Amino acid sequence: MLRYASAWLGGLSLLAVSSSASADWEVNMTKGVTDVSHSVFNLHMTIFWICVAIGVIVFGIMFWSMFMHRKSRGAVPATFHENLTVEILWTVIPLLILVGIAIPATKTLIDIYDTEDPDIDIMVTGYQWRWQYNYVGEDVSFFSHMTTSRDAINNVADKGENYLLEVDEPVVIPVGKKVRFLVTSADVIHSWWVPSLAVKRDAIPGFINESWTRVEEPGIYRGQCTELCGRDHAFMPIVVDARSQEDYDTWLAEKKEFAAREAELTEKEWTLEELMERGERVYSSTCASCHQPTGQGIPGAFPSLVGTDMVMNDLTGHIDIVVNGSPGTAMAAFGAQLSEVDLAAVITYERNAWGNDTGDLVTPLDILELEEDQ
Amino acid sequence: MSAVIDHHHADHAHGPAKGLMRWVLTTNHKDIGSMYLWFSFAMFLLGGSMAMVIRAELFQPGLQLVQPEFFNQMTTTHGLIMVFGAVMPAFVGLANWMIPLMIGAPDMALPRMNNFSFWLLPAAFGLLLSTLFMEGGGPNFGWTFYAPLSTTYAPPSVTFFIFAIHLAGISSIMGAINIIATVLNLRAPGMTLMKMPLFVWTWLITAFLLIAVMPVLAGAVTMMLMDIHFGTSFFNAAGGGDPVMFQHIFWFFGHPEVYIMILPAFGAVSMIIPAFSRKPLFGYTSMVYATGAIAFLSFAVWAHHMFTVGIPLTGELFFMYATMLIAVPTGVKVFNWVSTMFRGSLTFEAPMLFSVAFVILFTIGGFSGLMLAMAPADFQYHDTYFVVAHFHYVLVPGAIFGIFASAYYWLPKWTGFMYDEVLAKTHFWMSFVGMNLAFFPMHFVGLAGMPRRIPDYNMMFANFNMVSSVGAFMFGATQLLFLYIVIKCIRGGPKAAANPWEGAEGLEWTVPSPAPYHTFTTPPEVK
């Protein structure tokens, strides 16, 4: 009996802990972890309480009238219908309140716009539906995809704590440094938002927007795309991993080493199996959201890749459309996004998967040759 | 000879034609007003059922009912139908019915155009809805249709969407021209501008806003059409165009559009609150000037919808200050309404209940609007559910409660019968509770970090989303009760006197209930 009771209590306290941890009933904005996010939070709370105060006065008078001046209580209507003094007062007083809150708002805004003298520049590029991070001057660049499985979204698998807010490669930044984000897009408009940093900037094709942050505490900070960008708008999260300078340096060195190893792969002799295996990975992270995991596309929106003339017979056309895209449509120029190895792998995969079985093998060197010709 | 003249004279005094052709060919402002109102209510139920699909999908995390591509079509068409199909035509319907009755005119100034501007609407929305059944689906880029998502990346049906917007826009412009022509030319002798009821005043100003901004919207969609079909690059960065320019053009239309949807409601409640307070409206003159000031400022604040697109600091500051300034005339209006109630002799029939809720809840929407005006804070609020909460607070208890209040207030005049007060109060309380349950928690999830226009979300937003959905289902189902109340009122009930409200004033209450097919064929004298 006692055992049951303690298990019950234990379960209850666990529930309490987990619910407070996941903040299921959170009603307010995060204070965040930067000076800017703190001043934004303070501004938000100031204006909120001013609104509450005005609301209490206005609604107070209103409710008092609704209660005291009812016809059923024998209220006799007054006949006044203007009063210049009060009308001037309730124009001037709100104006003064507005000036009062405009001052701190202006200060914070000037701070947000001060993107001068950064320690690190990171180029953030939005794609349908993933983010690319490019460490300017460091030769480090990678894509960040959501890792939540389709099964979890379709309620077949369990949803983890960071459901829809988890990625394969977070953007890593050092603490205590001024990091500038140069935000742009390769296709439609996206918006890069991390609430804890109070950074939100639209990623717009043809524009480079600037924003900055200085995080003092190491930690993982999560956000999402906040501009409708098509079908998988809900599925392109942002994860910022703030580390100590030392850990950041180690990470950066590893990344560079990895990039060098990848570059060597271009020269390697590839077998069909190796390309198919790599191609499947590239396809599922880069192509499957439009052309679907089955290669069948979506009628009217995204073309099928199964048994079509281009995939079966036109190798040059196939490479060309993947590398250079198709202007005026949603098909992007992947030559700028993927390495030669990944391009070769994914094209090989598309020509041999789903029963296409052309037996064509495209090597990284083939791609390189074609790119050099152009 | 005299027989011919007699015949001619008899012909003049005819009532409504019989059968279906009465409605197709009518030039009578009351018939056209009724058609507008029925059309907008049909669209309200349709746009509402789309909202039910959205809320059902958002009831729990994960995808249950619809896929993201269909979800995006639902959010888009819900917005388009509610804005262009439900709220705007409802106010045009009220204007058609009431403005001639309020100013002592026999009809609208341009009755044939009136017929045409109504009949464009079923065509426009038939076209828009047909896109949902086309290959690639209907519009899925949000009601704000930002380029290039709505151009290069749009489904093929976007061309039909563009044409539908053109048609709806032409209809609105013609409706606005008609209202201006009527108000400026057909007022009864003695009805000076500053004696006009406030509903007429706010509609006059709204009509000017419509004429100013609907062509801008038409320009935006025409540029989209050119980009899609004729190789131009207005909004295509790769061709030297500018996607941000789309947003500037859209919101130059879009912000005044917001006031187009609320100003007529301001006018209606400014007539209803005095009627049920049995006391004249406080500050009539300042109401007129405040409306004018809001309309004027609405042209200078559009970029507050774009604080995160990267406009320069000085631009950001200008639009922040200009937006904050709107709080002043809006505040004046709220203070005037409260002062009208103060020391009145209040009763709370359905029109008054909806009007009082309008003042309270619209003010809450105004508060969140003031918060959104703070550019630095907007970096956290922008494109989250906080914004969704804000604009639903100004549009549902604002525009839509304003329409309900007007409908109950003038139903006796339209039908000649009193509506069922008990049912109407039930309609009010269910709507009030449902609406607050649906939209208040959206403030919370938005502040906690939930972006708008997503079909799926992290579990930390689950509780409030479930509450929202329950509230939305309640609000949605309640509107069927409104349909029943209106039908019941048309079919019969206690006879309504010419003026069924103790404190109501105005020319519309001097004609019998129901209002005869032709009224004020001889203009009344206004003292």
Contact A78 B279 (CB under 8 A): yes
| Minimum distance, in Å, between the CA of residue A269 and any CA atom of chain B | 37
Contact A163 B61 (CB under 8 A): yes
Contact B342 A65 (CB under 8 A): yes
Task: Please state, in angstroms and rounded to a whole number, the distance separating the CA atoms of residues A141 and B501.
Answer: 72
Catalytic residue among B31, B57, B227, B257: B257
Nearest CA among B351, B339, B325, B361 for reference residue B286: B339
| Minimum distance, in Å, between the CA of residue A41 and any CA atom of chain B | 7
Chain A residues with CB-CB distance to B334 below 8 A: 58
Active site residue B34: no
Task: Please state, in angstroms and rounded to a whole number, the distance separating the CA atoms of residues B326 and B484.
Answer: 39
What is the pLDDT at residue A148?
A: 93
Active site residue B255: yes
What is the pLDDT at residue B142?
A: 95
Mean of pLDDT over chain B: 94
Chain A residues with CB-CB distance to B327 below 8 A: 94, 98
Contact (Cβ atoms closer than 8 angstroms) between residue A203 and residue A191: yes
Write down all domains in chain A, each with its CATH number in brackets: 35-112 (1.10.287), 120-262 (2.60.40.420), 269-373 (1.10.760.10)
Nearest CA among B139, A338, A239, B518 for reference residue A347: A338
Rounded (to 5) percent helix, strand, coil in chain B: 70, 0, 25
Q: Over range B203-207, report the average pLDDT.
A: 97
Within an 8 Å CB–CB cutoff, is residue A210 touching chain B? yes
What is the pLDDT at residue A119?
A: 95
Nearest CA among B442, B443, B434 for reference residue B476: B434
Q: Over range B387-404, report the average pLDDT.
A: 96
Task: Please state, in angstroms and rounded to a whole number, the distance separating the CA atoms of residues B496 and B513.
Answer: 6
Nearest CA among B521, B459, B480, B438 for reference residue A152: B459
A281-to-A144, A275, A359 alpha-carbon distances in Å:
14, 10, 19
Active site residue B452: yes
Which one of A25, A112, A161 has the shortest CB-CB distance to B379?
A112
Rounded (to 5) percent helix, strand, coil in chain A: 50, 15, 35
Contact B454 A224 (CB under 8 A): yes
Active site residue B270: yes
Contact (Cβ atoms closer than 8 angstroms) between residue A203 and residue A127: no
Buried b / exposed e over B266-297, threshold 16 CB at 10 Å, is bbbbbbbbbbbbbbbbbbbebbbebbbbbbeb
Interface mutation vs chain A, best among B131, B276, B343, most A CBs within 10 Å: B343
Mean of pLDDT over chain A: 88
Give ipTM to 2 decimals. 0.91
Give residue for tokens 């189902």.
B477
Active site residue B302: no
What is the pLDDT at residue A23?
A: 54
Amino acid at A117: D
Interface mutation vs chain B, best among A26, A85, A147, A199, most B CBs within 10 Å: A26
Active site residue B146: no
Task: Please state, in angstroms and rounded to a whole number, the distance separating the CA atoms of residues A300 and A1.
Answer: 64
Confidence of residue B526 (pLDDT cuts 50, 70, 90): confident
Q: Does the structure show a pLDDT above 70 at A252?
A: yes
Task: Please state, in angstroms and rounded to a whole number, the distance separating the CA atoms of residues B487 and B502.
Answer: 25
Q: Does the structure show a pLDDT above 50 at B356?
A: yes
| Minimum distance, in Å, between the CA of residue A106 and any CA atom of chain B | 7
Q: Does the structure show a pLDDT above 50 at A13?
A: no
Contact (Cβ atoms closer than 8 angstroms) between residue B179 and residue B203: yes
Amino acid at B520: F
Q: What percent of chain A has pLDDT over 90?
A: 58
Q: Does the structure show a pLDDT above 50 at B133?
A: yes
Contact A200 B382 (CB under 8 A): yes
| Minimum distance, in Å, between the CA of residue B213 and any CA atom of chain A | 25
Confidence of residue B316 (pLDDT cuts 50, 70, 90): very high
Active site residue B151: no
Supply the pTM of this predicted model.
0.91
- More confident: B372 or A367: B372
Active site residue B171: yes
Catalytic residue among B166, B187, B279, B305: B305
Within an 8 Å CB–CB cutoff, is residue A152 touching chain B? yes
pLDDT in tens, B217-255: 999 999 999 999 999 999 999 899 999 999 999 999 999
Active site residue B431: no
Provide the chain A residues 80-139 that lie in CB contact (below 8 A) with chain B: 80-82, 86-87, 90-91, 94-95, 98, 101-102, 105-106, 108-110, 112-113, 128
Which ranges of chain A would DSSP assign to H, the alpha helix?
2-22, 35-68, 84-112, 150-153, 245-264, 272-282, 288-291, 309-313, 315-324, 340-352, 364-373
Q: Does the structure show a pLDDT above 70 at B55?
A: yes
| Domain B31-510 is found in CATH 3.10.690.10 | no
pLDDT in tens, A62-107: 999 999 999 999 888 998 888 999 999 999 999 999 999 999 999 9
How many other C-beta atoms lie within 10 A of the C-beta of residue A255?
18
Contact (Cβ atoms closer than 8 angstroms) between residue B332 and residue A55: no
Lowest mean pLDDT among A330-344, B64-78, B149-163, B482-496: A330-344
- More confident: A309 or B268: B268
pLDDT in tens, B362-386: 999 999 999 999 999 999 999 999 9
What is the pLDDT at residue A15?
A: 43
Contact B383 A227 (CB under 8 A): yes
What is the pLDDT at residue A11?
A: 44
Q: Return the SS3 of B378.
A: helix
Nearest CA among A160, A206, A167, A164 for reference residue A187: A206
Chain A residues with CB-CB distance to B140 below 8 A: 230-231
Which one of A47, A205, A233 has the shortest CB-CB distance to B243?
A205
Task: Please state, in angstroms and rounded to a whole number, the distance separating the CA atoms of residues A198 and A236.
Answer: 18
Contact A26 B460 (CB under 8 A): yes
What is the pLDDT at residue B14?
A: 64
Interface mutation vs chain B, best among A20, A71, A108, A209, most B CBs within 10 Å: A71
Task: Please state, in angstroms and rounded to a whole number, the distance separating the CA atoms of residues A115 and B313.
Answer: 12
Q: How far is CA A197 from the centre of its chain?
A: 13
pLDDT in tens, B106-127: 999 999 999 999 999 999 999 9
